[in-house]
Structure 1
C-alpha cells in the first residue's frame, strides 16, 4: 500500500511500501550485495537477453563454418574441421569481459550495413595456425599468457582476412554485404563497435587443427543487422548465385541463337497513297542524293547501324561506319516477335 507523507521541507512525497507492485516495476528492492534485483533495474542489469529468432542467421553461420574448414585446410595443408558450437545472444559488454587479453579480434565492416561485426580468435587458435603455417612442432605446448608477437599477428591477420571473405560469401544468399577486414586488435577496448548494453548475435565455433582444439567467435550487433533483419527472418533462401548464374547462361545461349531479319536500306522516301496507286511499269522513282553511298541496317522498323555499300568477291558487302546499337536491336527484336 502507498501513503502520502509530508517531508520536513513541507513538500508532499509518495512513499511506497515494500512489496508493492509499482515498487517491483520500478526496481526499489536492493539485494544483500546492494545491487537492484527487481523491476527495471533487473532488466537493465540482467546478463540474460532474449534471443531473436533469425532462421537465416543460423544458416549463415553454418555456411561460414563449412567455409572456415575449407580455408584452413587450404592454408595449413593439414586436417582442419570447424563446427558451430552455439548461436545465442549476449550483451556486448559481456564479450569485452570474457575476451582473453592475449587473443586477437578482427573488425569486419560493411558499407551496406552501416556498421561492423567482430571475429575473435583465442590465443590457442593463433599459435596453432602459426605452427602449421611456419613449420613449428605440431602438438607442442605453447604458453598462452603472453602477448602475440609481430609474426603471430601477421599470420592472424592473414587468417582473419580469409575468414572475413568466408563470412561475406556465407551472407550471399541473403544479401551482398561486401564485408572486409578493417583492422585487427588485441585489446577488446579498441574493438568496441557497439555500446556495452547493446545486444549481439553470438556464434561460437569449435576449431580442430591437427590434433589440437581452439575456438572462434563472431559477434554481430543486432543494430548492425537491422537493415537486413527482414531477410534474416525468412525460413529459407536458395543459393541465389548458382540459380541466377545458371539462368543467365541459359538466357544468353537462347538469345544468341535467335534468328533476326536484317534489312539493308539504300534509300527511302515518303509517298502518298494515291501516288503509289498510279505507279506503272516503266515509271522512274527518285530518292536522296546519288553521292551518298551510305546504307542503313534495320531490324524491323528500327535502325541499328549504318555503313557503306561495296563488294566482296561476288557478294554485296557493307562496311559498318557505326557500332551496332544494342538497345535499339533489342527493342526491334522484341517488336519483331
Structure 2
C-alpha cells in the first residue's frame, strides 16, 4: 500500500452530549467532575487540634545550650583519647520536638541507647546514626584514616559493633553528666541499646522533648548523634535551665531584700514563758484573793514551753544568771510547731 493511499472506514459519529445552551459550570460542578482534593481534609478544631498540632510551644532553656557547648569541648577530648584520631565535634542544633515525631524521623538503621538519670528518676535517649556507627567501628579497629567506611546494607548490627559503639555512648553520658555539674550534680547510666524505635519508647508520642544534635568528624568520616531529654525528665532543673546565665538570681536587684532582712533581724519581739498551767472553775477564779497561793504540778527541773505570739518555739528550763531569772533552751521546734 502506498503512502498516498487511504482507507475510508465508515465509522459512526460519536454521540453528541446533551448540554443545555445556558448551562454554566460553577466550583461545585468542577469539584464533582474532577474530585475535590481538599474534600478528605477535615478542619480540626478544639482539643483535637491542640493535641495533634505539630507546632511545639515551649519556653527556651538557655542554660541547656551552655551545657551542650561545655559538652562539645570535653567530648572531643575524650574521643581523641579513645580513637587516637583528630576529632572535631560541633553542636548542630537544639530543638524542641514531640517524641513521636522524632522517633518517626530517626534514620534506620540506627542505635538507640536508653539511659536513666537516678537523681531525676526518669529516662533519656541517645540516637546514633549509621554513618557515625560505621566510622567509630572503623576507627577503633584500625581502619585507614581519611577513607569512608563501607556500609553493609540489609543487616543488623553485630555484637562487636554494638560493644564498640557502646564505649562511645558511655563517653557521651559521662561528659554530658560532667557538663551538668554546675547546674545539678547527676549521673547518667546506660540501661540498654535498641535498634527499633518501638522498643526505645521512653515517653508518649505527644510529649515534648528537647533534642540536641551533635556532629562528629574523624578525618573525613563521621556522622551525627542526638541526645533526647523529655521535658518531664528536665522538670527538676527546669527553673535553673531557664536562666539566661550561670548563677542568675531571680528577683532582680537584692537591695530591698537585704534591707528588709536587716530590719527584720533588728525587730524586737516578746517571748512568753509558760511555767505551768492548771484548769480551774470560773467560781474559783472569781474567788481569788491577794496573797493566795496556787499550786502547780511541776518542779523547777521540768521543761516549760516558750512561745511568741501564741506560736510555740522551744522548750526551756528556768534558772538564774547574775542575779537575774534566766531560761535555758533545751529543745527547739521545727517550723514553729512542737514535735
TM-score interval, normalised by the smaller of the two chains = 0.5 to 0.7
The SS at the match of 2:185 is: coil
Name which of 220, 236, 240 aligns with 2:245. 236
Offset of residue 193 of structure 1: 0.8
Offset of residue 39 of structure 1: 3.9
Name which of 116, 128, 132 aligns with 1:121. 128
d(CA) in 2 for partners of 1:32, 1:155: 52
Gaps of 5+ in 2: 1-37, 248-339
Q: Which has the higher helix share?
A: 1
d(CA) in 2 for partners of 1:165, 1:141: 27
Match of 2:77 in 1: 70
Match of 2:116 in 1: 109
Match of 1:186 in 2: 195
d(CA) in 2 for partners of 1:56, 1:218: 15
The SS at the match of 1:163 is: helix
TM-score, L = length of structure 2: 0.58
Offset of residue 96 of structure 1: 1.3
With over 3 angstroms needed to count, the CA separation of the structure-2 counterparts of 1:82 and 1:35, relative to structure 1, is farther
Match of 1:252 in 2: none
Q: Name the count of aligned residue pairs.
A: 209
d(CA) in 2 for partners of 1:142, 1:99: 21
RMSD: 1.8
Give CA-to-partner distance per residue, 1:107-141, whole Å, 9 cap, x none. Answer: 12111111011111101101101111111234134
Gaps of 5+ in 1: 1-30, 239-337
With over 3 angstroms needed to count, the CA separation of the structure-2 counterparts of 1:35 and 1:96, relative to structure 1, is farther
d(CA) in 2 for partners of 1:59, 1:46: 29
1:200 corresponds to 2:200 = no
Q: 1:26-45 to 2 correspondence within 5 Å?
A: 32-45=39-52
Offset of residue 35 of structure 1: 4.6
Offset of residue 38 of structure 1: 3.8
With over 3 angstroms needed to count, the CA separation of the structure-2 counterparts of 1:207 and 1:51, relative to structure 1, is farther
Q: Contact (CA 8 Å) 1:80, 1:210: kept in 2 or not?
A: yes
Offset of residue 41 of structure 1: 2.8
Name which of 41, 52, 60 aligns with 2:67. 60
With over 3 angstroms needed to count, the CA separation of the structure-2 counterparts of 1:65 and 1:51, relative to structure 1, is farther
Offset of residue 51 of structure 1: 3.6
Greater relative CO, 1 or 2 (CA 8 Å, sep 6+)? 2
With over 3 angstroms needed to count, the CA separation of the structure-2 counterparts of 1:100 and 1:144, relative to structure 1, is farther
Match of 1:319 in 2: none
Offset of residue 144 of structure 1: 5.6
Name which of 132, 150, 154 aligns with 2:139. 132
